[in-house]
Amino acid sequence: LTGFAIASFGVQVHSLPLVYLGCGVFGGAAMGVAYVPAVAILLRWFPKEKGLASGLAVMGYGAGGMVAAPTAQTLLGIFKKPPQYLGPSSEITTIVQE
């Protein structure tokens, strides 16, 4: 949560290093702190079924991403607003180079 807060503040003040710090450093550290101990504890609890225990843990971790992605898209659809410094959204043209 702290990583997302720092990253969102970085987006708001247009600071790319703050976005990297929030998502990359704090977000990565939080994932490591949450993921590794959980798998290690499961392997101790189920010494005979280590493969099953670690597989279910990894599956649960991936399922969280499957739930988070559509949720993020829905929330972005509701709350997304183009920046005002670009002008009115009807005047903005997206140009893609190939």
- Contact call for residues 16 and 5 (beta carbons, < 8 A): no
Torsion, Cα 63 65 71 76, to 10 degrees, reads -170
Structural contact between residues 18 and 27, judged by C-beta atoms closer than 8 angstroms? no
Does the model's pTM come out above 0.85? no
Residues sharing a CB contact under 8 Å with residue 78, sequence separation 6 or more, in sequence order: none
Nearest-angstrom CA–CA distance, 20 and 23:
5
Q: What is the pLDDT along the chain (98 residues), one digit of tens a residue?
A: 678 888 888 888 888 888 889 888 988 888 888 888 888 898 999 999 999 998 998 898 889 888 988 888 888 788 777 666 666 767 767 666 66
